[in-house]
Amino acid sequence: MDQLTIKPGPLRGEIAVPSDKSITHRSLLFGAIAHGVSRVRQPLQSGDTLATMDVVRKLGVEVQSSYTGEWLIDGKGLFGLREPEEILDCVNSGTTVRLLMGLLAGQEFFSVLAGSPQLRKRPMGRVTKPLQKMGAQIFGRDDGRLLPLAIIGSPLKGIEYELPIASAQVKTAILLAGLYAQGLTVIKEPGPARDHTERMLISMGAPIQRKGPYISSEQPQQPLQPLDITIPGDFSSAAFPLAAAAITPDSNIHIRNVGVNPTRRGLLDALIAMGANVNLENWQESGGEPVGDLHIRYSELTGITVEGDQIVTMIDELPVFAVIATQAGGETIVKDAKELRVKETDRIATTVTELRKMGADIEELPDGFVVHGPTRLKGATVWSHGDHRLAMALTIAGLIAEGSTIVKDAACSADSFPGFVETMRQIGANIT
Ligand code: S3P
């Protein structure tokens, strides 16, 4: 459904959300270089992760999908990938292209990475630059900063590199290249970017070490062990029903089996600081990741400031956080979030523009936004700009707006959250 009509109303009941996108991408790419067959239960089958699956297959790796939805990835070992005969199309997925750059830089073959018009605008220099320091040969538009990119696989050497931005994609690309490099690669990260890569590669026996902000990788002496994992629900998808229940009077919902890795759950901490009535239940460890159920009931919220290290732990949730802020009393400030400008869209500009159409009191900052609330939002016709997280954030805004809200170009929600509308309907959302 490319155009959604939303009417307000409370949310009640129990749901599960689709599996984690970041972990699914990694299971395909890391499984491809493992020695033997990786078994991945409950993978996310979304636009972005299917782009990664397609690329992995073009690199000569068989991925079988069983009728239960489980994947078996026939890993070829670190040096067993095959030169792709075709361009590797990463479609809309920034994670696919950036992680692949790290994986392909040290191979003994040539490859070309391409993507959609949206992806072709996104900055790749942040990955090209450190990889070139390692000896990679990467060529592309704007001196290797924009797709399409051509990679001539070459011998790499380890580097010491301080990441200028807290980015899990950049971190992962360098750590992967480090597995192919002579000597040690050490990176220093400026903030706690999601650490699924470290957790997964360590579980596969890769020589990855972590000490505070320093992470190192080097060539493994042993083949990488295949993965055997069950992927938890994606906190970034749970964020939408979570936000909706937090701000819609009379709501009370339970979301089962959500990944609550500390590097991912900044929105939960922010909601608690605002006074939300939210509990984390059935906390357990699954596949090297903390997992739990989220139970949330509506309550009145108070504005807060989110800044510094917390930003990276809720970077993908900031559009829906802006919606939450419109219902909180007083001022909510988001700063240190310049990264939002280079996501699928400039999420500072697109979030502010679209929420203003609904009457939100929100102002743009160079590195974030300021919201004054609470405001009774008004139904309006708004546009996702082709950005999945904006489409879903605006749908949540529609659930508390007076009258009807129309979200245009909403089908992109399937890039990360297939079945978004059906899941929201299960808890009573009036979306047609
Ligand atoms: C991701 C990292 C983040 C995030 C993206 C997924 C990942 O991007 O916004 O949705 O899986 O590594 P950056 O690394 O660019 O911050």
Average pLDDT, whole number, for the chain?
98
Measured in Å, residue 224 CA sits from the centre of ligand 1 at 24
Spatial distance between the Cα atoms of 321 and 308, rounded to a whole number of angstroms: 16
Domain layout of the chain by residue ranges: 3-19+232-431, 21-216
Determine if ligand 1 sits within 6 Å of the CB of residue 22.
yes
- Give yes or no for residue 42 having a pLDDT over 90: yes
The band of 287, judged by pLDDT with boundaries at 50, 70 and 90, is confident
pLDDT score for 239: 98
pLDDT at 323 over 90: yes
Report how far residue 370's alpha carbon sits from residue 361's, in angstroms, rounded to the nearest whole number: 8
| CATH class, 3-19+232-431 region | alpha beta
Q: Up-side HSE of residue 305: CA atoms within 13 Å toward CB? A: 4
| pLDDT for residue 177 is more than 80 | yes
Residue 25 pLDDT > 90: yes
Element (H, E) at 114: strand 110-114
Ligand 1 centroid distance, CA of 106 (Å): 22
Count of residues making up the chain: 432
Residues 325 and 148: their CA atoms lie apart, in Å, by 38
- CA 429 to ligand 1 center in whole angstroms: 29
The predicted structure's pLDDT at residue 237 = 98
57 falls in which pLDDT band (50, 70, 90)? very high
Q: Average pLDDT in the 258-286 region?
A: 97
The Cα–Cα gap between 57 and 380 comes to: 43
Q: Is the CB of 95 under 6 A from ligand 1?
A: yes
Residue 167 Cα to ligand 1 middle (Å)? 6
**pTM exceeding the 0.95 threshold for the entire prediction:** yes
Matching CATH topology for 3-19+232-431 and 21-216? yes
Atom of ligand 1 nearest to the CA of 343: 9
The DSSP secondary structure of 335-371, one letter per residue, reads -S-GGGGGSSS-HHHHHHHHHHHTT-EEEEETTEEEE
CA 22 to ligand 1 centroid distance, Å: 8
* Backbone φ, ψ for residue 204 (5° rounding): -90, 0
CATH superfamily of 21-216: Enolpyruvate transferase domain (3.65.10.10)
Instruction: pLDDT band for 325, please (50, 70, 90 cuts).
Output: very high
Q: Is pLDDT above 80 for 158?
A: yes
pLDDT beyond 90 at 189: yes
Instruction: Tell me what pLDDT residue 184 has.
Output: 98
User: Are 278 and 246 in contact, with CB atoms under 8 Å apart?
Assistant: yes
**Ligand 1, residues 28, 169, 198: which to mutate, most atoms within 8 A of Cβ?**
169
pLDDT tens by residue, 78-122: 999 999 999 999 999 999 999 999 999 999 999 999 999 999 999
Q: What is the pLDDT of residues 357-383, one digit of tens each?
A: 999 999 999 999 999 999 999 999 999
Q: Which of 19, 20, 21, 22 most suits a substitution to test ligand 1, by most atoms within 8 Å of the C-beta? A: 22
Cβ of residue 168 lying under 6 Å from some atom of ligand 1: yes
Alpha-carbon dihedral sign for residues 12, 16, 19, 20: positive
Confidence of residue 293 (pLDDT cuts 50, 70, 90): very high
196, pLDDT greater than 90: yes
Taken in order 18, 20, 25, 31, the sign of the CA dihedral is negative
Task: Sheet containing 110-114: give its strands across.
Answer: 88-89, 110-114, 146-152, 137-140
Q: Ligand 1: does its nearest atom lie under 6 Å from the Cβ of 316? A: yes
With cut-offs at 50, 70 and 90, classify the pLDDT of residue 1: confident
Quick check: 125 pLDDT over 90?
Answer: yes
Phi, psi of 155 (to 5 degrees): -65, 140
pLDDT at 148 over 80: yes
Is 407 in a helix, a strand, or coil? strand
pLDDT value of residue 313? 98
Mutate-to-test residue for ligand 1 from 95, 170, 320, highest number of ligand atoms within 8 A of CB: 95
CA dihedral 276, 277, 283, 289 (to 10 degrees): -20
Contacts of 366 (CB under 8 A, 6+ apart): 338
**Confidence band for 123, pLDDT divided at 50, 70 and 90:** very high
Q: What is the pLDDT of residue 263?
A: 98
Residues taking part in catalysis: 316
